[in-house]
């Protein structure tokens, strides 16, 4: 009688273990779903940023004063000075083009906000080249904190514009990496052969791997 009385009072050890196990499974499921929805959100944000940048690049090209996409480097641009570190060249050139005083389109650095760009390699131009007072040569960042790579089609074969800063973990140290323009693995013909490539290293934070997200 004592046994049945205590049964009514509370859970048996087995029942308790079952409940704990179920809670554990639900918890793990919740974390997994949260993580995957966060990853989905970052990828969507990355694609949206590329869309914003490509729209601005088309506006830039269709302006008769430019008539072409930004070059892959600021070399020879008045006020750029000596580009000493040779890192992030395409990304910096794209940023300057789309944040310059004479760009009449919708500037992505303004619409995307201050968090959308950073000077990951800490280099400067001789004079300020953008609407900002700073001489910093900024790069647009993907949702994981790495610069977007940018290559004008004229430089797909140019190894001198392939050095980029990238961190392998969120908030990690930036290191110099080599980034190659994307090409068809079978035919070796580059993606976007007559315009430009802009792409993110993607969630794995490594360039030129399958999860890269680009304008193709
Ligand atoms: Ca820079
Ligand atoms: Ca990648």
> Which ligand gives the minimal distance to the CA of 163?
1
- pLDDT-based confidence at residue 149 (cuts at 50, 70, 90): very high
pTM: 0.85
6 domain residue, yes or no: no
163 domain residue, yes or no: yes
**Residue 215 DSSP code:** -
Ligand 1 geometric centre to CA of 139 (Å): 6
**Smallest Cα–Cα separation from 55: which of 105, 99, 118, 95?**
105
> Which ligand gives the minimal distance to the CA of 164?
1
Given a cut of 70, whether residue 29 has pLDDT beyond it is yes
- pLDDT-based confidence at residue 145 (cuts at 50, 70, 90): very high
CA angle 112, 209, 150 (to 5 degrees): 40
2 domain residue, yes or no: no
103 domain residue, yes or no: yes
**What letters, b where the CB count within 10 A reaches 16 and e where it falls short, cover 102-130?**
ebeeebbbeebeeebbbbbbebbbeeebb
> Hey, which residues does 183 pair with through a beta bridge?
190
- pLDDT-based confidence at residue 31 (cuts at 50, 70, 90): confident
Ligand 1 geometric centre to CA of 73 (Å): 12
Ligand 1 geometric centre to CA of 85 (Å): 9
CATH number at residue 182: 3.30.700.10
- How many domains in the chain? 1
1 domain residue, yes or no: no
Ligand 1 geometric centre to CA of 22 (Å): 51
5 domain residue, yes or no: no
27 domain residue, yes or no: yes
Range of the domain at 129: 12-214
Summarize pLDDT for 157-177 with one digit per residue, the tens: 999 999 999 999 999 999 999
Ligand 2 geometric centre to CA of 200 (Å): 7
Extract the tokens encoding 138. 């900024």
Given a cut of 80, whether residue 9 has pLDDT beyond it is no
106 domain residue, yes or no: yes
Ligand 2 geometric centre to CA of 186 (Å): 19
- pLDDT-based confidence at residue 209 (cuts at 50, 70, 90): very high
> Which ligand gives the minimal distance to the CA of 134?
1
């Amino acid at each position: 009688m004592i046994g049945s009385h205590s049964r009514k009072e509370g859970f048996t050890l087995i029942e308790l273990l079952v409940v704990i196990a179920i809670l554990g499974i639900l918890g793990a499921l919740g974390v997994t779903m949260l993580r995957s929805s966060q990853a989905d959100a970052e990828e969507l944000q990355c694609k949206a940023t590329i869309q914003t940048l490509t729209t601005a690049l088309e506006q830039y090209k269709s302006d008769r004063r430019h008539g072409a996409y930004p070059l892959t480097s600021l070399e020879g641009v008045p006020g750029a000075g000596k580009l000493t570190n040779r890192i992030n060249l395409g990304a910096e050139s794209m940023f300057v083009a789309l944040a310059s005083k004479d760009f009449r389109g919708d500037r992505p650095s303004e619409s995307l906000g201050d968090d959308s760009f950073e000077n990951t390699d800490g280099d400067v131009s001789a004079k300020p080249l953008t609407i900002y007072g700073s001489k910093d040569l900024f790069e647009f960042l993907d949702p994981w904190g790495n610069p977007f790579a940018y290559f004008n089609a004229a430089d797909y074969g140019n190894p001198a514009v392939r050095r980029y800063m990238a961190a392998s973990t969120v908030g990690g140290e930036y290191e110099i990496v080599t980034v190659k323009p994307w090409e068809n693995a079978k035919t070796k013909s580059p993606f976007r052969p007559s315009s430009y490539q802009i792409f993110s290293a993607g969630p794995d934070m490594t360039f030129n791997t399958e999860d890269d997200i680009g304008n193709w």
